[in-house]
Structure 1
Amino acid sequence: MPAPAAPAVEKVPSRDIRRSTIIGWVAGIVAVYDFILFGTLLPRISATFGWSESHALLISTLVSVGTAVVLFAIGPIVDRIGRRRGMIATVTGTAIASAATAAASGAGTLVAVRSISGLSLSEQSVNATYLNELYNAAEDPRVTKHRGFVFSMVQTAWPLGALAAAGFVALVSLFLQPDQWRWTFLLATIPAVLVALLCRRLRESPQFLAQKAGRVAKERSAPFAMIFRRDQLRNTLVLAFGWLTNWMAIQTFSVLGTTVLESGKGFSATNSLLMVVASNLVAALGYLAHGWLGDRFPRHRVIGVGWIIATAMFVLMLVGPSNAAFVLVTYMIGLFFLLGPYATILVYQSECYATECRATGGAFAFAMSQPGAILGGLLLSVFTGIGWGYGNAAMVVGAGACLVSGLVMFAGRTVTRQAV
């Protein structure tokens, strides 16, 4: 007898689209805020526990490993429990990570509790899966047609969350001593708990409900196995290698941006910090531009072109004069094209996979960012340790990996956008 027809996907009213978009944006700010806060306060944490710089770097690396494990695990869970519960779980995990960090008693406990922050970082991937399913089922056809640009507005939560973390640390530093960093993490739990409660107002995505109601055999397959099947394998490998190599560039030019500017170009610490703050504002514009472009051209090509242009700008910055205006222009343009495509790649991921493994595929690709960050930092340490200048090391590790990531994205398949 013929297989039963797949359940129809219910259309999502505009009021639910607006509510979910706003909550998703706020949740993104809170999640990124917690993730960035740890890196910002690591020097103070190190001083409290009496760690050397190398030991602090080891702790940071181990936290990245633990974070990657959580990122790999969250996708299959969200494909089982649903997008709404996934959003609640990731933001709740953010609150738990902040509170537990305040109670850390040493290296072991800190690594364990900060690994939970993989939930806060994974919010970005779960958010992308959830919102893009809603946008594709929107009553308003304009939302579906321009969902890349709409999601890019949500993605501005990343630079805004980073700025919020830096601003909050600066503010509480006026009232707290450096060794009272635990209070900073405790205070950070308050917005996370409030947003987790707010996420309870989200509606489940109609695609997940339709898949759950369908009960067809393939939907009982293991989501992780599905992303490596023949029809999904190519994009899985392209996305994974793209995230891994590009996060080597992120580690070089964004996470360690002040180091590049100070050691590689001879800028003062104050000027370097101001340029990194400005870079977050540039990143927000980059998200919007690439989201708009991705609605008009194949998304994987928009991503690839953006990362190749970023490579060219960073090479110019490193080999060009140390003139402030020249470095400012090339660095900002480089970050515009390095960071901006992330709004597009998150949408592209949601289009690459079927509903039953969509969260798994997106989370797996996203999780590869952590090995990329570890490898990038390790290679920078190795090259500078054997006597290379930081500028030369950044050229090979950062710019080289950025170029590779851009070229890799052209191997991705053009997907049917209405398949979401």
Structure 2
Amino acid sequence: MAGTTRTAGSNERVPGTLSRRTTLLFAVAGGVAVSNVYFAQPLLVTLGQDFAISAATLGAVVTLTQIGYGLGLFFVVPLGDLVDRRHLIVTQLLVLAAASTVVGTATGAPILLAGMVAMGFLAVVTQALVAFAASVAEPARRGHVVGVVTSGVVTGILLARTASGALADLAGWRSVYLTSAVLTLVLAMALHRVLPRRAAARQTPLRYGQLLRSTLTLFARERVFRNRALLALLIFAAFSTLWSCVALPLSAPPLSLSHTAIGAFGLVGAAGALAAAPAGRMHDRGLAQRTTGVALALLAVSWLPLAFTRQSLWALVIGAIILDLAVQAVHVTNQSLIHALRPDAGSRLIAGYMVFYSIGSATGAIASTTVYAMAGWGAVCVLGAAISALALLVWAATRRGSDVVA
């Protein structure tokens, strides 16, 4: 059970311990919640056929979900610094289950897309869980704890494709979202029982409007925050360039893979989750910069094997593993660094950071499907490589004096 203690003769609250069981529950809940944002990726062709959405604009399905996610990050996640996080997390999960049901029963494109926006808006409960875990973890273990919870989130992102593809082939695409609604309800009840009744409530004297403005103020004042947010935008634009578009060449001749086969590549990408916990430990050892530089170099290299996807699915396997390992290593390092800046404003910092994640994901989704429709898979890989190289250049230009240098 997570908790806090008070120092002798003081009213200062200090982090307590976060049990392994609770940490794992956080990871599972975060993974299930965020998976709703990514279920559509292997289903894009089918959704396009059922709702008469053209190939060039299929990326809008993912992009609108990411827009909802970005709005939720800015308007909902900062509430974790203001209200009882237990109530906030459980309420979000309950309403997320309702939004998943709306998508699973949609009868037209407007309802489908509105439901996607709502799911994205509510799936930010994932970040409330990350912020909560970081706030109650011991400082010496914060990177590790964030890494474990992030591993669950990453696994949810990547296995969402596998589960989505398999369920779609077995019982239709609607079963994907209805099953998710049931799982989300179960997790809401579990967290309602496990989370402390006073989960870091009212950590700040600010009112809601002031809280939102303070997020912008933190961005203006904290250089590390700005640098790491920009890196988040770029690495997740690269990430989304691959995963929001790869279903299109895989479902087209000569490959013509099924939903299940396409979704199975999420199992390959799930290897990226393995990088989360080690990256957290590297941060704890003061090696944040070295981890970031190596990971960004690997991200740029990953597009070389990915360019040969049409010729060999093994090339896709190798490239996807490298790309996901690199992205998650940078992501965990980013979150650990920015939370350490102002632990009292952890929810706002992570919310502001993840807005850039959402912008990058949305941009990568719409850009990759548009480029694919115009010039094919090779051009998509050039786009991804260019974004990755830009991220490496940004890191090199901003690394001096901006982070904990190893």
TM over 0.5: yes
Q: Does the aligned pair in 1 maintain the 2:86–2:197 contact within 8 Å?
A: yes
Contact 1:247-1:376 within 8 A present in 2 as well: yes
> Alpha-carbon deviation of 1:283?
0.9
CA displacement at 1:225 relative to structure 2:
2.7
Q: Which residue of 1 aligns with 2:356?
A: 368
Q: Aligned equivalents of 1:377 and 1:308: distance in 2?
A: 22
Structure 1 residues 296 and 238: CA distance shift in structure 2, 3 A: same
> Would the alpha carbon gap of residues 120 and 41 (structure 1) be closer, same or farther in structure 2, given more than 3 Å must change?
farther
Partner residue, 1:141: none
State the shift of 1:337 in Å: 1.4
Shift of 1:9: 0.9
1:322-401 to structure 2, matched below 5 A, reads 328-355=317-344, 357-381=345-369, 383-384=371-372, 388-395=375-382, 397-401=383-387
Distance 1:354 1:292 in 2: 18
Shift, 1:250, TM fit: 0.7
Q: Which of 221, 232, 252 is equivalent to 1:243?
A: 232
Deviation track 1:212-257 (CA, whole Å, cap 9, x = no partner) reads 5xx5xx7898233334437734233223322222222011233334
CA distance in 1, matches of 2:323, 2:331: 14
**Alignment partners' CA distance in 1, 2:21 and 2:242:** 35
Counterpart selection for 1:295 from 284, 289, 308: 284
**Equivalent in the alignment of 2:189:** 197
Give the % identical residues.
19
User: How many aligned residue pairs are there?
Assistant: 389
Alignment match, 1:39: 41
TM-score relative to the length of structure 2: 0.80
| Conservation of the 8 A alpha-carbon contact between 2:72 and 2:121 | yes
- Residue 223 of structure 1 aligns with an amino acid whose one-letter code is L
CA deviations over 1:304-330 (Å, ceiling 9, x no partner): 431222212324654899666666445
State the superposition RMSD in angstroms: 3.7
Find the counterpart in structure 1 of residue 145 from structure 2. 150
Question: For the residues of structure 2 that align with 1:128 and 1:232, how far apart are their CA atoms?
Answer: 23
Output the amino acid matched with 1:403: A
Shift of 1:301: 4.7
Distance 1:10 1:59, change over 3 A: closer
How far, CA to CA, are the matches of 2:36 and 2:373 in structure 1? 31
Alpha-carbon distance in structure 2 between the residues aligned to 1:96 and 1:253: 29
d(CA) in 2 for partners of 1:285, 1:228: 33
2:112 maps to which residue? Answer: 110
Distance 2:364 2:160 in 1: 26
Structure 2 runs not aligned, ≥5 long: 1-8
**Cα drift, residue 272 of structure 1:** 8.0
Measured at CA, do residues 203 and 408 of structure 1 come closer, stay the same or move farther in structure 2, by a change above 3 Å? farther
Secondary structure in 2 matching 1:399: helix
Cα distance, 1:335–1:268 mapped onto 2, change above 3 Å: farther
- The answer to whether the Cα contact below 8 Å between 1:149 and 1:291 also exists between their aligned partners in 2 is yes
Does the 8 A contact of 2:229 with 2:353 survive in 1? Answer: yes
- Seen in structure 2, the aligned counterparts of structure 1 residues 299 and 103 have a Cα distance that, compared at 3 Å, is same
Deviations 1:338-370 (A, max 9, x none): 233323323233223341x32122112212223
Among 208, 213, 216, which residue is 1:225 paired with?
A: 213
